[in-house]
Structure 1
Amino acid sequence: AQGTQSKGHVVTENLAQVIRLLECGGSRVAQKYIENPVCYDGRKVDCRVYILLRDATPDHIELYAHNRCFFRIADKKHNISSSADLLDKKRVLSAMHFFRSDSEKTEASKLPVDHDTISKLESDYGNIGFKWKENILPRIHVLAKELFGGMALAYPDMSKGDMISRALYGLDVMFEIVDGEIFPKLTEVTFCPQNNAICDAYERDEDLYRSFNNDIFKCLFFGDVSEDLIRIT
C-alpha cells in the first residue's frame, strides 16, 4: 500500500513483484491478504472506527471510541479463483466508492448506514459470533488499546510536562473468519482523518456532521464526553 483511499494499493501473490515495488522508492506497507473475510452480500467490507486520544504516557492512556462508524463495501463479489482475480480492484478492495464517476453513483451504490450494515452482518454471521455490541466492538476496542499502549511505550515523550497528546485517529478494520470464529483485523491507521466521510452514508446529514465534530472537539479539548463516546482505557 502507498497512500490512502486505496491509491497505490496492489494485491499480489508474487514475491518478486513485492520486491520490485519496494525498489521503486517511497514508503510502503506490506500486509497479508485476508483470504476469508466477512462479506456484505458477498462483497468485502471494512469498517472505519474513530478513536480519540486525549493523553498518552507509558503510565496513563486516555482513549475514547465514537459510537458512529461507517462501512465501505467492494463493488464486486469476493470470488477469488485465480491469480487474475487479485488484479480486479473492484473485487479485492473495499474503498472503491471513492473512485466512482457521477454516472456510477446510483442509489444501489450508496454506502449503507452503520446500523443497517451491522444488522445485515449480524443476520448473516450471528451464528458464528458476529454480535456487534457483545463481541465485535469490544474486540475492536482491545485492538485500539493495544495499539496506543504500544505507541505510548515506543514514544514516551508524546505527553511531557504540561503538554498533552490530543488527536483523532481513524482505524480501518476488516473481519476475518478463522476456525469458525470472527476476529477484527486492523488494516490501516489514519491520523486526523477526513471525518466528513462518515456523513456520506447519511446523505450529507448536516446535523450529524455538526454533532459528530462537536463530540470530537469537546472531548479532546474540554474533556466533555458525550453519550456517543465510549472510554476504552
Structure 2
Amino acid sequence: MVENTFNKIASLEDALSHINNETTLMFGGFGGIGSPPSLIEGILEKEVCNLTLIGNDTGFPNIGIGRLVSHHRARKVIASHIGSNPVAGQLMTEGKLEVEFVPQGTLSERIRAGGVGLGGILVDVGMDNEIVSQSKQRIVIDDKEFLVEKPLTADVSIVFAKKSDPFGNLVYDKSARNMNPLVAMAGKFTIAEVEEIVPLGELGPEEIITPGVYIDMIVKSNGVNWKWVWE
C-alpha cells in the first residue's frame, strides 16, 4: 500500500484496483515502445473490458496497448493512427471498436492541455475538411480562423519509466520517453511502472523529466518482454 506522499510504491494488485470496466485509460508509448508491460498484462489478467483508450496509437496485435485491443477489451480508442495493428482496423470496420482519429501533433497538445488545465487549444488543421471540423467550435483571432480542440484527460493514466524515486520523480529511457510525460500529467490518477526504484535524493534534478507531483502510484516492472508474434 502507499504509505504517504513521499512513498508511493505499491503492488501491482493495488495499482490494478484503480482500473476497472468502463475506465477511460490514457497510456504512454509509441508503437509499444514506452508502454507499461506489467500493467497491460495485469489488465488482461483482470479481464477488464469496455475501456476507452487514449494514446498515440494501438501498438501491434501482441505488443503494447495493442494486446488490449486484440483481446476486445476496448470499446473506443482516441489515437493518431491504428495502421500498425490490423486487428484494430478490422474491429473498427466491423463496428466493434469506435475510433476517433486525431492528428499526432493535435493529440499531444490536447493531452498537454488536459494536463495543465487549459480549456482547449486552437488549430488550423482540418479547417476545410467537413469530417474533421464537424461539430467543432470556430474562433477568429487577428482575422485568422481556428478550430477549438478540447483537452483530453483520463480516469487513469499509465506510463513507463526507466527510473523513479519513492516520490515518483521519473527518468525515461531515450525514445521510450515519447508521450509519457504528457500522459503522466493528464490522468486524474497516474500510475508509473518503472524498471528501477532508487532512494529519494539519488536522481539529479536535471535528469528528472516528470516531477513526482504528477504521480500517484509507483509499480516495479516485473520485466515482461513483448514478443513479435504475428497472427
**TM-score of the superposed pair, with normalisation by structure 2:** 0.25
| Higher-Rg member (1/2) | 1
Structure showing the higher helix proportion among its residues = 1
**TM-score of the superposed pair, with normalisation by structure 1:** 0.25
